[in-house]
């Protein structure tokens, strides 16, 4: 298949592109290498892909509608995997206009380019944070939306529902995948697995909300990639599907796990959580199992062990 991966230089995008290339697909990656976190990390991610002759990179911005149409016209893609986004919840609190521009307008630019150039299938990165502070546990796709806790999930809900409009009007197949707290090698430096590890290693203090009495459904990158690839292979009309592990981890226990891996004690401050943070994320993955044969296999202990191996080999070695 011929596949466009937006956000290909990012954490999830680089793993997805790698998996698609490994199975023989042609991949066009697109990224604007913004500085939300160190662009050198993104360059390093892409450097793992560029030696493959079936990989092409476009340095472009999803806010540029003309560029999106040009790339899609030239690419004649079978599917778009749209991962490019401003992805941090907390960073979005005071940046609603930027998040709207990139995540809503950028997504619409790609939907338009897909429609105009006849791309039949669109896979969209959504998030567990669309569920906000729902009391329905585990989180199910048929839960009522519309109560996001911050601009970031609001923009992802907008992407999901705009996808429905394009499905309804133009017959585009659209699968919105709601990822739950993804971690693993090349993981984002603004996310807790990286922050906790890095701070413990360097003896720095970090913030753990509610003294760790919060739960997150940590999901290993390889499990997420298998779900994305399955969604690529199965156009389903219009669906939104949870991709999580279905086993929320108490954050205090997560910190203990990292302490054991690193062999040092953590230093933390433990303020109350801001209103953007739900107390728990918890995926019901029944729909993913039914529609995508999704089967997350990596435990958090195993996945964090792999993350720690990568952190030592790549991050510590470079310091
Ligand atoms: N990592 C998670 O736990 C998680 C959870 C839920 C949803 N998601 C979603 O998955 C997707 C990938 O997330 P990630 O964790 O790999 O984040 P990431 O920040 O590592 O990757 C996103 C990539 O998109 C690129 N990008 C941002 N704005 C762009 C623009 N205007 N034009 C072109 N490229 C742009 C960035 O440079 C980056 O390389 C995002 O849509 C994110 O919202 C991630």
Q: Evaluate the omega torsion of the peptide bond into residue 130 and state whether it is cis, within 30 degrees of 0.
A: no
pLDDT (tens digit per residue) in 96-134: 999 999 999 999 999 999 999 999 999 999 999 999 999
pLDDT for position 254: 98
Residue 262 falls inside a structural domain:
no
Residue 308 falls inside a structural domain:
no
> What distance in angstroms lies between residue 18's CA and the mean position of ligand 1's atoms?
16
56 pLDDT exceeds 90? yes
Ligand 1, atom 42, residue with closest C-alpha: 87
Active site residue 152: yes
Residue 58 falls inside a structural domain:
yes
Please report, for the domain that includes residue 59, its CATH number: 3.40.50.720
Indicate the top mutation candidate among 14, 17, 83 to test ligand 1's pocket, ranked by most ligand atoms within 8 A of CB. 83
Q: Which residues contact 99 (CB under 8 A, 6 or more apart)?
A: 86, 92, 151, 152, 155
Q: Which residues contact 40 (CB under 8 A, 6 or more apart)?
A: none
- In this prediction, residue 146 has a pLDDT band, given cuts at 50, 70 and 90, of confident
pLDDT for position 311: 98
Number of compact structural domains in the chain: 1
Protein residues whose CB sits closer than 6 Å to any atom of ligand 1: 7, 9-13, 31-34, 42, 61-63, 83-87, 102, 106, 125, 127, 179, 181-182, 188
Ligand 1, atom 2, residue with closest C-alpha: 182
309 pLDDT exceeds 90? yes
pLDDT for position 81: 99
Residue 215 falls inside a structural domain:
no
pLDDT for position 306: 98
pLDDT for position 319: 84
pLDDT for position 303: 98
> What distance in angstroms lies between residue 308's CA and the mean position of ligand 1's atoms?
22
> Which range marks the domain in which residue 152 is found?
2-184+220-246+284-297
pLDDT for position 14: 98
pLDDT (tens digit per residue) in 226-254: 999 999 999 999 999 999 999 999 999 99
Residue 194 falls inside a structural domain:
no
Residue 154 falls inside a structural domain:
yes
pLDDT for position 252: 98
Atom of ligand 1 at shortest range from CA of 126: 7
Average pLDDT (139-164) is 96
Cβ(215)–Cβ(249) below 8 Å: yes
Indicate the top mutation candidate among 5, 11, 60 to test ligand 1's pocket, ranked by most ligand atoms within 8 A of CB. 11
Share of the chain above pLDDT 70, in %: 100
């Amino acid at each position: 298949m011929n596949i466009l991966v937006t956000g290909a230089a990012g954490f999830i995008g680089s793993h997805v592109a790698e998996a698609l290339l490994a199975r023989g697909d042609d991949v066009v990656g697109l990224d604007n290498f913004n500085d939300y976190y160190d662009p050198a990390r993104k360059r390093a991610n892409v450097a793992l892909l560029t030696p493959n002759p079936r990989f092409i990179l476009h340095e472009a911005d999803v806010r540029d509608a003309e560029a999106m149409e040009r790339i899609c016209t030239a690419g004649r893609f079978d599917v778009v995997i749209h991962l490019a986004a401003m992805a941090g919840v907390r960073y979005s609190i005071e940046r609603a206009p930027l998040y709207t521009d990139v995540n809503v307008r950028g997504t619409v630019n790609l939907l338009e380019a897909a429609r105009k150039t006849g791309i039949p299938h669109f896979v969209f990165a959504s998030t567990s944070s669309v569920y906000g502070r729902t009391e329905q546990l585990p989180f199910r796709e048929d839960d009522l939306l519309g109560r996001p806790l911050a601009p970031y999930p609001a923009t992802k809900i907008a992407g999901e529902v705009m996808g429905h409009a394009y499905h309804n009007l133009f017959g585009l197949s659209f699968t919105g995948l709601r990822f739950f707290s993804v971690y693993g090698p090349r993981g984002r430096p603004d996310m807790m697995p990286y922050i906790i590890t890095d701070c413990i290693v360097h003896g720095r203090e970090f913030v753990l909300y509610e003294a760790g009495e919060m739960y997150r459904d940590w999901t290993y990158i390889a499990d997420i990639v298998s779900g994305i690839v399955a969604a690529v292979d199965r156009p389903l009309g219009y669906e939104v599907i949870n991709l999580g592990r279905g086993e929320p981890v108490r954050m205090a226990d997560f910190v203990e796990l990292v302490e054991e891996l690193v062999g040092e004690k953590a230093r933390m401050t433990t303020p109350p959580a801001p209103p953007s943070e739900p107390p728990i994320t918890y995926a019901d993955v029944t729909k993913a199992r039914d529609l995508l044969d999704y089967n997350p296999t990596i435990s958090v202990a195993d996945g964090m062990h792999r993350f720690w191996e990568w952190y030592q080999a790549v991050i510590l070695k470079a310091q």
